[in-house]
Structure 1
């Protein structure tokens, strides 16, 4: 089956089998992941995460799917990356789909091109599970998605205000959601938002987004990256979305280091390939070895599962991505 974002959001609590989410809309991806994790917590589903950087690592995923802990009845496994299973792993995927009705394999990938969507991997999951394309190509789609975000904040926008917001942010859903948060905070007693409130709230404000953070990180501009990070946090940006941005860039750089000829296949835009190549020349590959552990520490800190300060750890990861060190 194929689901859009709204359809998938309504089905997270009942998801089983194999799901693929792919796209380049961080707001949609993070919202769905958060919805899945909330559902797993409520249902006491055991969760594991794998970051795939080579085909051979798919075997670890299927081994995990076949081994529950003594205290769990159901298992959800998140797989992050852009490496599709090979023929042997596809056999394991087929066996899993045919014989496991209770666990969930959730695969999160960047935007895929048409040829990738026709691959045996995608065709198998589409025929036996769910494929979710995280896109919002039309104004009505973006307004439906942002209406859900506005409802969470307890506000409504009239049609003129929606049109103004769309034009102001040039289709950037994440930036538009942040503006909804800002206008809700600025006018807490105003439930019906007009253009006047949006204009007053947003006209003079800097509009840094996580996309700006990505560009600064890949450029190795530590001062700008730290400035954008502090702005995002002060503007109410969830730390989990900042982590998503940092994790995405770290994964792309590690994968490009291993597969220097496959930049496009990894989901890097053609116009930005040279930026990533320059970043690799600036970075010490030895640093890649402890990046996954650093990301896990940040994730645990954000969720309150450790006593470490998540903002300090995020700043450490930003520093490392820029090829610098916090201490001499």
Structure 2
């Protein structure tokens, strides 16, 4: 049986037989291990841990699984390593799965490639045990996982704050959870955590941030915007996060142009309303027609599906938001 992380969390108390956890997400691995250990303690299940450094270590594991102490009715064996059982060990594994319905073998492994997942060991686990891939490949999956973490911490995030958090940490779930803990402690009285809360809490000692870029863009300061952009690129800021900040400001300006009296309803902070209004007065609405296509071109170039240079395209977006033309038409 194959389960994902969230499905596995719901079945821990009933776990028996053999479970294998594998992946490269330390937050997911640690959460599941902690949940297993808590469940074993609650059910008074004896726990033993073994680290596999050679194939022969599996013999010790199976000997332990088949022998209970005088004080235990159930046993949980926690195994860590990346060495699979050999033919003799697989025979022991099959025998254990067929005859021992009370104990649990929990194997924790690093990320496995596609060929490893096709080996006899994983075929046995898929058919008779539980195979849990510790992955979160899609934004929806990562947000669901972090939403569970936020719920445990007793906090709630605005929708765009989730997106900012993920971009800020470049999909690092463990770092994102640590940031949730930090923002919870910093803004304990906030009903809903907004982007500004995250930024105020998580900003590092960098000279500039994407928030500085947004302010310069709204002010129409092209030289400062380019200076900040170049600094962000040089300091390793993800292009996807820079694009997210620019596209957010572009969307808000276009929406405010259509709904000039609904700034607060659109999500613009009260202290920033005048900055957006001034930007609208400065900009030519005709430029708005080109923005959606330009954003799509930038997104494609960042993802590698376009042939254009993403930094050049971002510079075009920056200049357009500042009401300037980056490339002047050539005249003879």
TM range, normalised to the smaller chain? 0.5 to 0.7
Q: Which residue of 1 aligns with 2:170?
A: 170
Larger RCO (CA under 8 A, 6+ residues apart): 1
What are the equivalent positions in structure 2 for 1:1-328 lying under 5 Å apart? 1-204=1-204
The answer for unaligned runs of 5 or more in structure 1 is 207-328
How many angstroms apart in 2 are the aligned matches of 1:123 and 1:158? 42
What TM-score does the superposition give when structure 1 sets the normalisation length? 0.62
Q: How far did 1:191 drift?
A: 3.0
Partner SS, residue 145 of structure 1: helix
Contact 1:157 / 1:193 at 8 angstroms: preserved in 2? yes
How many angstroms apart in 1 are the aligned matches of 2:166 and 2:89? 43
Q: How far did 1:189 drift?
A: 1.0
How many angstroms apart in 1 are the aligned matches of 2:144 and 2:191? 18
Q: Provide the aligned C-alpha RMSD in A.
A: 0.9
Partner SS, residue 28 of structure 1: helix
* Aligned residue-pair number: 206
How many angstroms apart in 2 are the aligned matches of 1:205 and 1:66? 56
The answer for unaligned runs of 5 or more in structure 2 is 207-332
Q: How far did 1:205 drift?
A: 5.9
Partner SS, residue 101 of structure 1: coil
Q: Which residue of 1 aligns with 2:321?
A: none
Q: How far did 1:204 drift?
A: 2.2
Cα pair distance change 1:205/1:59, threshold 3 Å: farther
Partner SS, residue 115 of structure 2: helix
Partner SS, residue 148 of structure 2: helix
Runs (4+) of structure 1 exceeding 4 A deviation are: none
The structure with the larger Rg is 2
How many angstroms apart in 2 are the aligned matches of 1:14 and 1:44? 14
